[in-house]
Amino acid sequence: MLEVTQLEVAYGGIRAVKGIDLRVGAGEVVALIGANGAGKTTTLKALAGLLRPKGGRVTYKGADVTGKPAYHLVRHGLALVPEGRGMFQRLTVAENLAMGAYIRNDAAVVAADTERVCALFPRLAERRRQLAGTLSGGEQQMLAIARAMMARPQMLLLDEPSMGLAPLMVQKIFETVRMIAAEGVTMLLVEQNAKLALETSSRGYVMESGCIVLADDAKTLLSNPQVRHAYLGE
Amino acid sequence: MSWSALFTDRRWRWIAWSAVALLLLALPFIIEALLGRSWVRIIAVALLFVMLALGLNIVVGFAGLLDLGYIAFFAVGAYSYALLASPQFAVHWPFLVLLPLGAAIAAVFGVLLGAPTLRLRGDYLAIVTLGFGEIIRVFLNNLNRPVNITNGPQGITLIDPLQMGGFSLAHTHTFAGLTFAPVHNYYFVFLVCAVLSIVLSLRLENSRIGRAWIAIRDDELAASSMGINTRNLKLLAFAMGATFGGVAGGLFASFQGFISPESFHLIDSIMVLCMVVLGGMGNVAGVVLGAVLLTALPEALRYIGPLQQRWLGGVIVDPADLRMLLFGLALVLMMLLRPEGLWPARRRRVAPVHTGNADVG
């Protein structure tokens, strides 16, 4: 579904991603783990079309999409749930969901989808008319995922869905992530919570200062002594 | 029943809105009887400022792009009208062509300002727009040599009034026993334009585009990952805001019959921005209120000068200084007492997202 070869991203002169290779097959959930500042978010932003790569190639559904802007990729079913949730605080929950379906103009289907995500997140349904800025952190993360689902993506890029949430809430969010994956949505999951991320994925990549240092099955990575030591705190 | 309910309740709203409409139609005659003709002129100008403030509100209030050079679009509209309807080039195009043309030219200038500033935000954008406003004014001031285009600081005189066939707004007409002086005629034209601007603004606010602007303002990155083309939407905000300014400029030129670069100073940009901020950024009703109040207040403060003489027995502070002093004081007080504007937007500022804290949800 997504093929990345020798991707390089730089901020000014500083190279944050130094030529990485990555592959996500259709229907697969792949984790990208690593410490703070390893370049995970930068990679995701480049894949979502929010940053222009400096080098390398990105192929999505067989087409070269290197450097294509986000509004182009979203129309082709590639959606990002940004780090820090990216709430539209002054819009209501319902309006945030509507923004998720911004690229679509089949009102009837959008209405049906709104019902569908509201069934998935009953909490959001209760708060439809509330401004997004007044939601709790967990609710905002739910809204961020629900909003991305409104674009009917074939592939989701999830950036740190567990960030700043209490353990119970993190469990809930990951339950939803698994549910969405079970529906056949392909996912690339960036996480600091390596254990949860790998338990949710089939394969994983480990990133360290702009490079991919390990790539393997999620199970193998979970039992890899290096990974256990560096990311699982054992 | 509260006052606002009167305008929303199904049984009452027709009566309430009709009353408002009647009041607005009768206003110039009431004002003339009570305060004299100069005040009719002031309320006509206030309507022009309503259009300007609503235009700036699109850029600043909806899209969140701080523009300190907005008056430049007013100038562009005014000069496009003046140059093509005056003895300057001896052309006299009809206003039905010139007003849309002025709006279009202003929109082009809006895009010209917007395109190079897309990456800028906040303070940086403000500085660039401020420079843009000054550039336009300096150009207007100096485009009289080597080829005389704008007539420089002397400005352009004898600009055609709004006229169609033999009917000119610059003449006094009598209709149904009422005397319509030119200032009355213009009041009604401006009223129509201001009402159109209000309707357009309200429609925009609750449209897909309006929500996309708010989204860009709240979180640009998230907005682009929703598939919003942030570049085009920002340019659209600049262009639409400029359009309002361009139309208002054309109307202003025809109303005054004379324009010069003097009318388009930085202070005028700031004044329009004050109307938006003080009225309630992003809220159409608030912006209209701000525009009317801030046009009327400096005029009302003119009456303070003579009072000083009467109460204190002499002129202590120069009346002109005193007037601006009190105006400034009023602005400071209003912002202290109503920091979100006199009539804040429904989408008031909400608490920032807590991204760092753990949350039980």
Task: Determine the distance in angstroms separating the CA of B220 from the nearest CA of chain A, rounded to an integer.
Answer: 8
**A118-127, B190-199, B321-330: range with highest mean pLDDT:** B190-199
Question: What pLDDT does B223 receive?
Answer: 94
Q: Could you give the CA distance from residue A122 to residue A117 in angstroms, rounded to a whole number?
A: 8
Among B225, B356, B357, the residue with its CB nearest the CB of A70 is B225
Task: Determine the distance in angstroms separating the CA of B232 from the nearest CA of chain A, rounded to an integer.
Answer: 11
Tell me if A69 and B349 make a contact (CB, 8 A cut-off): no
Q: Could you give the CA distance from residue B291 to residue B293 in angstroms, rounded to a whole number?
A: 6
- Contact B357/A at CB under 8 A: yes
Among B226, B358, B359, the residue with its CB nearest the CB of A99 is B226
Interface test with A, best of B226, B340, B348, B349 (most A CBs within 10 A): B226
Tell me if B355 and A90 make a contact (CB, 8 A cut-off): no
Count CB-CB contacts under 10 A for residue A23. 15
Closest CA to A29 of A158, A210, A203, A220: A203
B189 within 8 A of B250, measured Cβ to Cβ: no
Tens-place pLDDT, residues B266-301: 999 999 999 999 998 889 999 999 999 999 998 888
3-state secondary structure A170-228: HHHHHHHHHHHHHCCCEEEEEECCHHHHHHHCCEEEEEECCEEEEEEEHHHHHHCHHHH
Closest CA to B243 of B114, B64, B66: B114
* CA distance to B114, B182, B339, per residue, from B119 (Å): 10, 46, 28
Strand partners of residue B225:
none
Residues 187-226 of B with CB under 8 A from A: 208, 211-212, 214-215, 217-219, 221-226
Domains of chain A: 27-50+78-231 (3.40.50.300)
Task: Determine the distance in angstroms separating the CA of B211 from the nearest CA of chain A, rounded to an integer.
Answer: 8
Question: What pLDDT does B355 receive?
Answer: 40
pTM to 2 decimal places:
0.88
Residues of chain A neighbouring B234 (CB-CB closer than 8 A): none
Residues of chain B neighbouring A136 (CB-CB closer than 8 A): 359-361
Question: What pLDDT does B1 receive?
Answer: 52
Tell me the pLDDT band of B178, cut-offs 50, 70 and 90: confident
- Contact B347/A at CB under 8 A: yes
A177 within 8 A of A146, measured Cβ to Cβ: no
Q: Which amino acid is at B301?
A: L
Strand partners of residue A53:
none
Residues of chain A neighbouring B359 (CB-CB closer than 8 A): 136-138, 164-166, 169
Question: What pLDDT does B179 receive?
Answer: 85
Tell me if A169 and B360 make a contact (CB, 8 A cut-off): yes
Residues of chain A neighbouring B349 (CB-CB closer than 8 A): 90
Q: Could you give the CA distance from residue A134 to residue B350 in angstroms, rounded to a whole number?
A: 7
Among B226, B355, B360, the residue with its CB nearest the CB of A74 is B226
Tell me if B361 and A172 make a contact (CB, 8 A cut-off): yes
Tens-place pLDDT, residues B73-110: 999 999 999 999 999 999 999 999 999 999 999 999 99
Tell me if A136 and B222 make a contact (CB, 8 A cut-off): no
Q: Could you give the CA distance from residue B155 to residue B256 in angstroms, rounded to a whole number?
A: 12
Tens-place pLDDT, residues B15-27: 888 999 999 999 9
Q: Could you give the CA distance from residue B145 to residue B42 in angstroms, rounded to a whole number?
A: 35
A148 within 8 A of A156, measured Cβ to Cβ: yes
Tell me if B351 and A134 make a contact (CB, 8 A cut-off): yes
Residues 153-172 of A with CB under 8 A from B: 163-166, 168-169, 172
Q: What share of chain A is helix, strand, coil (3-state, %, to 5)?
A: 40, 30, 30
> Long-range pairs for B205-213 at CB < 8 Å and ≥24 separation?
B205/B62, B205/B282, B205/B284, B208/A102, B209/B233, B209/B236, B210/B62, B211/A91, B211/A95, B211/A98, B211/A99, B212/A99, B212/A102, B213/B62, B213/B63, B213/B64, B213/B237
In this model, does residue B190 exceed pLDDT 70? yes
Count CB-CB contacts under 10 A for residue B58. 31
Residues of chain B neighbouring A99 (CB-CB closer than 8 A): 211-212, 215, 223, 226, 228
Question: What pLDDT does B76 receive?
Answer: 97
Q: Quick one: tokens of B74?
A: 């007013």
ipTM beyond 0.90? Answer: no
Domains of chain B: 25-337 (1.10.3470)
Q: Searching chain B, which residue's CA lies closest to the CA of residue A80?
A: B225
Q: Quick one: tokens of B317?
A: 């502070």
3-state secondary structure A152-183: CCCEEEEECCCCCCCHHHHHHHHHHHHHHHHC
B173 within 8 A of B166, measured Cβ to Cβ: no
Strand partners of residue A80:
A157
- Contact A69/B at CB under 8 A: yes
Q: Which amino acid is at B250?
A: G
Q: Is residue B332 packed enough to be buried (19+ CB in 10 Å), middle (13-18) or exposed (0-12)?
A: exposed
Task: Determine the distance in angstroms separating the CA of B231 from the nearest CA of chain A, rounded to an integer.
Answer: 11
Tell me if A88 and B223 make a contact (CB, 8 A cut-off): yes
Tell me if A89 and B225 make a contact (CB, 8 A cut-off): no
- Contact A145/B at CB under 8 A: no
Q: Could you give the CA distance from residue A204 to residue A207 in angstroms, rounded to a whole number?
A: 10
Chain pair A-B, CB pairs under 8 angstroms: 125
Strand partners of residue B117:
none
Task: Determine the distance in angstroms separating the CA of B354 from the nearest CA of chain A, rounded to an integer.
Answer: 7
Q: Quick one: tokens of A184?
A: 């056949």
What proportion of chain B, given as a percentage, has pLDDT over 90?
67
Place of tokens 């019902």: A115
- Contact B33/A at CB under 8 A: no
Tell me if A166 and B361 make a contact (CB, 8 A cut-off): yes
Residues of chain A neighbouring B360 (CB-CB closer than 8 A): 136, 138, 166, 168-169
What mean pLDDT is reported for chain B?
A: 89
Q: Which residues of chain A have pLDDT under 50?
A: none
Q: Could you give the CA distance from residue A91 to residue A129 in angstroms, rounded to a whole number?
A: 9
Residues 114-133 of A with CB under 8 A from B: 131, 133
Task: Determine the distance in angstroms separating the CA of B1 from the nearest CA of chain A, rounded to an integer.
Answer: 25
Tens-place pLDDT, residues B123-134: 899 999 999 999
Tens-place pLDDT, residues B202-238: 999 889 999 999 999 989 999 999 999 999 999 999 9
Among B212, B224, B359, the residue with its CB nearest the CB of A50 is B224
